[in-house]
Structure 1
């Protein structure tokens, strides 16, 4: 009798370019946790080693561009990738290397979280890196996910007499080449966190979320990776943004203080029951955002 072995389909695979964070609050470790939680298989090309904890970043040590390229090319030649996710790149050379790599896969969605500083304000990307990002990566970006300060810094112009509005920043970033821009309001002084998704048509959706007490280490990494995971799973950009915000808000609501600094989002909140009798929640069972 003939017998055959059926190989189960592989989960969606997402290649992450990001720096390592020993605390696993942010960086490539946060991306891995998030993508795994959402049913994806994460692939990684480490761009920098950092010395940091939940309090702040002490130092950043970029990996050579040659080694970043070798990491990425090796897995890309072996494994199909449904989406790219980019975080801290560490150097101008790494920006150029990653831009060249992703240009060989123009049909693969690219989600870019332009981490320019840590939550404490530690510098992670200087002006040369920002200039290279504008010229080399934004034209290849499917979705850019800056917070408001990052959006203003990326979109700033010598002609600005004051601080440009978020709407103006989004328009400029789209003119630089990003297809979509999701500007998050975590750093704004508003009662609620307001996240706004833009395209060439203007505002697509504006979502409001309860502003939770405390500050979090890795919320931006979590959101961008969750979007990448949802898109890799077949969701449209708008649906991915909606579902990823929902997931991220729940990770923050269930966040924990693992050290002496910021809270860490719990990317596997759904696997833990609230009490002995409660059933574990599913990843999508989060409070839905209100469309404005």
Structure 2
């Protein structure tokens, strides 16, 4: 039996709740072997980001090449890219290695509100990475920022933004509804064939650190295991909802605590 392998290309969270740490925990929880290529080190905890140290683009390339030269990577998840030069390095690597599935989480702002991506990197993200992605997973503010529009206020506006994001070159967009209002959180999966609304109860907890990272890596894990896109998205949403529901079992930090990736085990 072939071991499914997924690669996360993302930043490190020194407090362990988001970034590559969250991705690797998610891969492990879902039965996928995880490899990683770091784009940045962050000095970070549950209350915010106090420093970002980008990895030189050529070393990002070296990490990606080392993984692909040896491991049979079935899916790639891309998170924090830090700067335009790193976007260019990742895009060139994807062109060279041609992975079957790429899930791009356009990380622009941390849960704490700290901005993580400068304007020139956003432009590079639009032009170089989105066209190579199987799926992009922006939240409501990120979808608006990618389009230079106001944040969508209702389902029709969300689906319309999803269709405009498809025009950037990716075949599927999952706009996450966690930043919305109301008793339910609805994500919208938009493809050329139409849209699917995925709804779950909105959970009352402040322990949501790393939810976006974990959702996108859970989708990548599903794709690595051979699931089709809709199934991978549905299963990932089920996983992250359970991880959020179990998050209050932890007492970690004094801000937005982490979700419980291993809720199935302890």
TM-score w.r.t. the length of structure 1 is 0.86
1:87 aligns with: 79
Q: 1:185 aligns with which of 158, 177, 181?
A: 177
Give the SS at the match of 1:95: helix
- Residue 262 (structure 1) aligned with residue 251 (structure 2): no
2:68 aligns with: 76
When you count helix as a share of all residues, which structure comes out higher? Answer: 2
Contact in 2 for aligned 1:251/1:266 (Cα 8 Å): yes
Structure having the higher Rg? 1
How many residues are paired up?
Answer: 259
Separation (CA, whole Å) in 1 of partners of 2:92 and 2:72: 18
| Paired residues for 1:1-292 under 5 Å | 9-156=1-148, 163=151, 165-203=157-195, 205-215=196-206, 216-255=208-247, 256-272=250-266
For structure 1, list consecutive stretches of 5 or more residues without a partner in the other structure: 1-8, 273-292
Contact in 2 for aligned 1:214/1:263 (Cα 8 Å): no
Q: CA RMSD in A?
A: 1.2
CA shift for structure 1 position 105:
3.2
CA shift for structure 1 position 31:
0.3
Cα 1:51–1:107 change in 2 (3 A) is closer
Separation (CA, whole Å) in 2 of partners of 1:144 and 1:202: 16
Give the SS at the match of 2:31: coil
For structure 2, list consecutive stretches of 5 or more residues without a partner in the other structure: none
Contact in 1 for aligned 2:68/2:97 (Cα 8 Å): no
CA shift for structure 1 position 11:
1.8
Separation (CA, whole Å) in 1 of partners of 2:151 and 2:45: 32
Contact in 2 for aligned 1:18/1:45 (Cα 8 Å): yes
Separation (CA, whole Å) in 1 of partners of 2:16 and 2:217: 14
Contact in 2 for aligned 1:50/1:57 (Cα 8 Å): yes
Contact in 2 for aligned 1:257/1:264 (Cα 8 Å): no
Give the SS at the match of 1:97: helix
Contact in 1 for aligned 2:74/2:99 (Cα 8 Å): no
Q: What are the Cα deviations for residues 94-119 of structure 1, in whole angstroms up to 9, with x where unaligned? A: 00000010112335100011110001
CA shift for structure 1 position 163:
4.9
